[in-house]
Amino acid sequence: MKEASVAARPAPRKATPVFRRIVLKLSGESLQGPDGFGIHGETIAAIAREVKDIRELGVQVAIVVGGGNIFRGARQKGFEIDRATGDYMGMLATVINSLALQDALEKQEVFTRVLTAIEMHEVAEPLIRRRATRHLEKDRVVIFAAGTGNPYFSTDTAAALRAMEIKAQVILKATRVDGIYDADPEKVSSAKFFSKISYADVLQKGLKVMDATAISLCMDNKMPIVVFNMNVPGNLKRVVMGERVGSTISPE
């Protein structure tokens, strides 16, 4: 009887992710590694492995990547250029990064599609919302390139906009620090860490997490944001599994 009861005991339940569909926001600087510029091969390969790990959990992944490692648009120092022109140049930089990330992911045998807001049929698919959603449903990683396709908007705003369009459950903002602080923790040792904070407080305190347009868009649509350190191996997986990692921005 004892053996029968043991045999009838159900198998332990396998842990499942708390998020089914995410938007991962990567800065262009996150690809440059220790070089301080351009694209660092080992760094982008490590990011691809992290994304592969959560894909194998069944998480649908969309990525928005910046272009600051190549060109920072109107913020480029020592280079006088029209704001709109500079922003378009920055958008093209995000396309370069997106293609590099696609290559790194496909080397990990992760099917990936790049969709760009500026049409360039020879290198990427045009941005069509339903097509992006279909790719996700077919277990492909989707990389959104060229920001919103418009000047005067950052890739943070693009990440917020794409998250709404594909009905993602959360935006994961990858950084090189552990979360949100009231000052730069790399410069101010006494900086206060926020494990949870509201959209309104981020705007009121002027915290440099994402730009005000992106935060406002997320606030209007109640889209949570998790800010975490991407440089710690396994952190991306911990976030999607619901562990307390980084800082969360949400309604009051």
Query: 């941005």: which residue's tokens?
Result: 127
Residue 58 inside a domain? The answer is yes
pLDDT at 251 (0 to 100): 87
Sign for the CA dihedral angle at 47, 50, 54, 56 comes to: positive
pLDDT at 104 (0 to 100): 98
Q: Which of 185, 189, 140, 133 is nearest to 164 (CA)?
A: 133
Neighbours of 178 (CB within 10 A): 18
Give the chain's mean pLDDT. Answer: 91
Does residue 76 surpass a pLDDT of 70?
no
Residue 5 inside a domain? The answer is no
Does residue 187 surpass a pLDDT of 60?
yes
Query: 């980084």: which residue's tokens?
Result: 246
Q: Which of 65, 66, 63, 54 is nearest to 132 (CA)?
A: 63
Find the mean pLDDT for residues 160-176. 97
Task: Output the domain CATH number for residue 179.
Answer: 3.40.1160.10
Banded model confidence at residue 250, pLDDT cuts 50, 70, 90: very high
Pairing of strands 170-175, 21-26: parallel
Please measure the distance between the N-terminal and C-terminal CA atoms of the chain and give it in whole angstroms. Answer: 54
Token pair of 2 as six digits: 């004892």
**CB within 8 Å of 130: residues ≥ 6 apart:** none
Contacts of the segment 213-222: beta carbons below 8 A, 24+ positions apart: 213/153, 213/154, 213/156, 213/157, 213/160, 214/154, 214/156, 214/157, 214/159, 214/160, 215/249, 217/157, 217/160, 217/161, 217/164, 218/160, 218/163, 218/171, 218/249, 219/251, 221/164, 222/250, 222/251
Does residue 7 surpass a pLDDT of 90?
no
Residue 87 inside a domain? The answer is yes
Instruction: Report how far residue 81's alpha carbon sits from residue 11's, in angstroms, rounded to the nearest whole number.
Output: 63
Does residue 34 surpass a pLDDT of 90?
no
* Domain count across the chain: 1
Does residue 1 surpass a pLDDT of 50?
no
Does residue 189 surpass a pLDDT of 50?
yes
Residue 95 inside a domain? The answer is yes
pLDDT in tens, 136-148: 999 999 999 999 9
Find the mean pLDDT for residues 108-132. 97
Residue 151 inside a domain? The answer is yes
Residue 14 inside a domain? The answer is no
Residue 244 inside a domain? The answer is yes
Residue 175 inside a domain? The answer is yes
Instruction: Report how far residue 180's alpha carbon sits from residue 79's, in angstroms, rounded to the nearest whole number.
Output: 31
Instruction: Report how far residue 97's alpha carbon sits from residue 147's, in angstroms, rounded to the nearest whole number.
Output: 12
pLDDT at 5 (0 to 100): 47
The parent domain of residue 210 ranges over: 19-250
Token pair of 70 as six digits: 């190549």
Angle CA(42)–CA(44)–CA(50) in degrees, nearest 5? Answer: 105
Does residue 35 surpass a pLDDT of 90?
no
